[in-house]
């Protein structure tokens, strides 16, 4: 067995996906299941589609190409507004692309026509989070213009909250989106989908306070981890034991809890802070900041505390661990969204999808 190892819990992921698909479909909402945190894992995408997800979303064209090459049929949504330089790949591989610039829409239309295709677009509107999208006050005119561009078809409009500015989706900003949709439609421009958001907006469905007129969601974190980082909560009706990270102990020694010597900065340029608890039993596991941010590691084994990490070593306080430990033993962790993202992206972490 090789470590570090990241194991996907098939049953928990399946349960979460099923639950979220049903929540959306019961309310007449089209679900784009988002796999970007797994770098576009084809087995996960296949499971989501088999369980009824309407589309698969990813932020990287490369991941969509990978899934297509693995015979995943899609349809695929590209979640990051595209670079001009990747437009040919978008036209060839992406069913619906999020956009926020008229110049990009024109370039998409031109390339689509050149290839004998029509590209579906979902125009993003910024209702306050300050990431992608036309500012809501200018949205109607800009989107009406986009809808007239040859070679593209306006599939929908949408917004994204929570991810950048941390703005929480609520009835007010969702109503803003619904009213923009109405204003565009009153100008004889039709489209199918008003895409209300991501995991941070899921509580609006849960509480049944989502304004009428929102009929699309794009959900990743809630399915993959059962958490909602923007609202700082876990979903009580979803599983959080969806992934397990295993890491092997390479050193186990009793040492002081405060470094000996004058303290400068650590490998990452941070000034580490240490609490003096006297001598403690410390374990070094063979994983580091290159593979996972240490503050996103949540030990499953009781009595284990993550102290700090450099690029390849993570130091744990295992003094309170009940039972015996030795070099070569494996400790287990759950991960935050940010930690899962980096672990998935690290080629030094072995991924085990065999349960799916």
Ligand X SMILES: *Cc1c(COP(=O)(O)O)cnc(C)c1O
End-to-end CA distance of the chain: 19
Q: Which of 11, 18, 22, 36 is catalytic?
A: 36
The answer to whether 36 contacts ligand X (rule: CB under 6 A) is yes
C-alpha of 257 from chain center: 36
Closest by CA position to 37, among listed 58, 55, 52: 58
Task: Report the nearest approach of ligand X to the CB of residue 11 (Å).
Answer: 21
The answer to whether 58 contacts ligand X (rule: CB under 6 A) is no
Which residue has the CB atom at the shortest distance from ligand X? Answer: 220
Task: Report the nearest approach of ligand X to the CB of residue 47 (Å).
Answer: 16
Residue with tokens 């040859």: 150
The answer to whether 198 contacts ligand X (rule: CB under 6 A) is yes
Among 13, 87, 152, 219, binds ligand X (CB under 6 A): 219
Stretch that binds ligand X, among 41-49, 220-228, 249-257, 306-314 (CB under 6 A): 220-228
C-alpha of 40 from chain center: 10
Number of residues located near ligand X, criterion CB under 6 A: 13
Site string for ligand X, 130-169 (x = CB under 6 A): ------------------------------x---------
Among 21, 33, 34, 167, binds ligand X (CB under 6 A): 34
Length of the chain in residues, anyone?
Answer: 356
Under 8 Å between Cβ of 135 and 142: no
**Tokens representing 338?**
């940010």
Task: Report the nearest approach of ligand X to the CB of residue 36 (Å).
Answer: 6
Closest by CA position to 12, among listed 225, 301, 234: 225
> How far is Cα 194 from Cα 30, in angstroms, rounded to an integer?
10
**Tokens representing 230?**
């923007």
DSSP letter at 236 equals: T
**120 has catalytic annotation:** no
By CB under 6 A, the residues from 297 to 326 that bind ligand X are: none
Residue with smaller CB distance to ligand X, 197 or 211: 197
Task: Report the nearest approach of ligand X to the CB of residue 214 (Å).
Answer: 14
Sign of CA dihedral 59, 298, 217, 146: negative
Under 8 Å between Cβ of 90 and 97: yes
Q: Where in the sequence numbering do the catalytic residues fall?
A: 36
Give the residues lining the site for ligand X (CB under 6 A): 34, 36, 59, 79, 98, 160, 198-199, 218-222
């Amino acid at each position: 067995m090789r470590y570090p190892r990241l194991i996907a819990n098939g049953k928990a992921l399946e349960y979460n996906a099923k639950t979220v698909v049903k929540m959306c479909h019961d309310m007449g909402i089209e679900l784009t299941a988002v796999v970007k945190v797994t770098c576009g894992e084809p087995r996960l995408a296949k499971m989501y589609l088999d369980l009824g997800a309407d589309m698969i979303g990813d932020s990287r064209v490369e991941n969509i190409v990978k899934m297509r090459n693995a015979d995943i049929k899609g349809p695929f949504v590209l979640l990051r507004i595209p670079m001009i330089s990747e437009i040919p790949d978008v036209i060839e591989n992406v069913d619906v692309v999020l956009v926020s610039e008229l110049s990009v829409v024109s370039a998409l239309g031109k390339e689509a026509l050149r290839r004998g295709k029509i590209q579906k677009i979902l125009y993003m509107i910024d209702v306050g989070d300050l990431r992608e999208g036309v500012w809501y006050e200018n949205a109607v005119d800009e989107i009406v213009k986009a809808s007239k561009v040859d070679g593209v078809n306006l599939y929908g409009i949408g917004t994204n909250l929570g991810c950048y500015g941390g703005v929480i989706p609520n009835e007010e900003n969702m109503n803003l989106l619904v009213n923009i949709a109405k204003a565009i439609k009153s100008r004889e421009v039709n489209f199918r989908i008003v895409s209300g958001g991501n995991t941070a907006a899921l509580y609006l469905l849960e509480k049944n306070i989502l304004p009428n007129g929102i009929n699309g969601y794009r959900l990743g974190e809630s399915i993959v981890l059962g958490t909602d980082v923007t609202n700082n909560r876990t979903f009580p009706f979803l599983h959080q034991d969806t992934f397990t990270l295993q890491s092997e102990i390479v050193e186990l020694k009793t040492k002081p809890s405060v470094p000996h010597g004058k303290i400068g900065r650590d490998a990452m340029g941070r000034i580490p802070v240490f609490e003096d608890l006297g001598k403690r039993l410390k374990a070094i596991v063979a994983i580091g900041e290159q593979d996972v941010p240490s503050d996103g590691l949540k030990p499953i084994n009781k009595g284990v505390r993550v102290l700090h990490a450099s690029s390849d070593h993570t130091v744990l306080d295992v003094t309170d661990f009940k039972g015996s430990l030795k070099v070569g033993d494996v400790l287990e962790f759950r991960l935050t969204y940010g930690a899962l993202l980096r672990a998935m992206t690290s080629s030094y972490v072995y991924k085990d999808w065999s349960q799916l």
